[in-house]
């Protein structure tokens, strides 16, 4: 089985897909023949991303949604199904960061990060899982971070969200594997995107969005008798 045949014609929903890692993943899966649904909160950026993929010949739907909201998630899943078909691959990529000492953080900071980085993954996975269970196949890939394994000053809220995401991923994998659904986590180090400032660092030595996309591609093209549960990605040289 070649890599393309494993996902060709399948429907992949990618969150945070208007730029950075999410857009790189969408390009990669579309290049393998998948039909891609792009989700983000900014309609203009989303349409621009979708236009670029369409010019490359991809089958694309652009659906703006706030995935912290269960009602918007229900609409997102329904619209994806109507536009492209049932969701067979879910890439939970959307995320935000907050970096400051814990004593300076507010409850609003906590809610914003945890709702986006963790609650949204739970809600969207829960919305997509019943269809995957019915078809007895599917991939859910959660884009985490090495911050889900390593503590650092100023990272309390962000690390909490990513440690929680890793635990959620592992438990989801156990809950769903009997139904042929493979749940995986990709944990990159710092990626050269506009997600966080890179003052004083050599971005050419950092991970690139395409590095993460390559890991996702490897996961979703595994032979059906196995699955890659977790991928840790580090730059070859420290930036």
Residue 1: the pLDDT is 47
Nearest to 212 by CA among 182, 184, 188: 188
Residue whose entry in the numeric block shows the structure tokens 């906590």: 110
Could you tell me how far CA 55 lies from the centroid of its own chain? Answer: 23
Residue 12: the pLDDT is 98
User: Per-residue pLDDT for the chain (239 aa), expressed as one digit of tens each?
Assistant: 456 678 999 999 999 999 999 999 999 999 999 999 999 999 999 999 999 999 999 999 999 999 999 999 999 999 999 999 999 999 999 999 999 999 999 999 999 999 999 999 999 999 999 999 999 999 999 999 999 999 999 999 999 999 999 999 999 999 999 999 999 999 999 998 877 656 667 888 899 999 999 999 999 999 999 999 999 999 998 87
Six token digits for residue 57: 């010949």
Residue 203: the pLDDT is 84
pLDDT in tens, 181-210: 999 999 999 998 877 656 667 888 899 999
Domains, the chain, ranges and CATH? Answer: 3-233 (3.40.50.720)
Q: How far apart are CA 111 and CA 116, in angstroms?
A: 8
Maximal CA-CA distance, the chain: 53
Q: Which position among 63, 73, 158, 172 bears the catalytic label?
A: 158
Residue whose entry in the numeric block shows the structure tokens 């090495």: 146
Q: What is the DSSP code (8-state) at residue 19?
A: S
Nearest to 189 by CA among 157, 142, 233: 233
Residue whose entry in the numeric block shows the structure tokens 């971005």: 203
φ and ψ at residue 25, rounded to 5 degrees: -65, -45
Cβ-Cβ contacts under 8 Å for 234 (sequence gap 6 or more): 146, 189, 207
Residue 208: the pLDDT is 95
Q: How far apart are CA 82 and CA 45, in angstroms?
A: 22
8 A C-beta contact, residue 79 and residue 72: no
Whether 98 is a known active-site residue: answer no
What are 230's strand-pairing partners? Answer: 185
> What's the Cα-to-Cα distance from 76 to each of 5, 6, 92, 143, 233, rounded to whole Å?
26, 24, 13, 19, 30
Residue whose entry in the numeric block shows the structure tokens 């809220």: 157
């Amino acid at each position: 089985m070649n890599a393309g045949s494993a996902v060709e014609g399948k429907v992949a929903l990618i969150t945070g897909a208007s730029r950075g890692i999410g857009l790189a993943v969408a390009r990669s899966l579309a290049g393998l023949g998948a039909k891609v649904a792009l989700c983000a909160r900014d309609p203009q950026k989303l349409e621009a991303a979708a236009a670029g993929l369409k010019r490359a010949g991809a089958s694309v739907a652009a659906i703006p949604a706030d995935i912290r909201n269960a009602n918007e998630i229900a609409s997102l899943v329904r619209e994806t199904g109507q536009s492209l078909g049932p969701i067979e691959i879910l890439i939970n990529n959307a995320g935000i960061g907050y970096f400051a000492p814990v004593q300076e953080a507010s409850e609003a900071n906590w809610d914003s990060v945890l709702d986006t980085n963790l609650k949204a993954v739970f809600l969207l996975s829960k919305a997509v899982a019943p269809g995957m269970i019915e078809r007895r196949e599917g991939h859910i890939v959660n884009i985490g971070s090495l911050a889900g394994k390593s503590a650092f000053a100023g990272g309390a809220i962000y690390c909490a969200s990513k440690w929680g995401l890793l635990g959620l991923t592992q438990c989801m994998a156990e809950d769903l594997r009997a139904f042929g659904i493979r749940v995986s986590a990709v944990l990159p180090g710092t990626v050269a995107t506009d997600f966080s400032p890179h003052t004083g660092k050599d971005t050419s030595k950092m991970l690139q969005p395409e590095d993460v996309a390559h890991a996702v591609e490897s996961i979703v093209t595994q032979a059906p008798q196995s699955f890659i549960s977790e991928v840790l990605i580090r730059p070859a040289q420290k930036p």
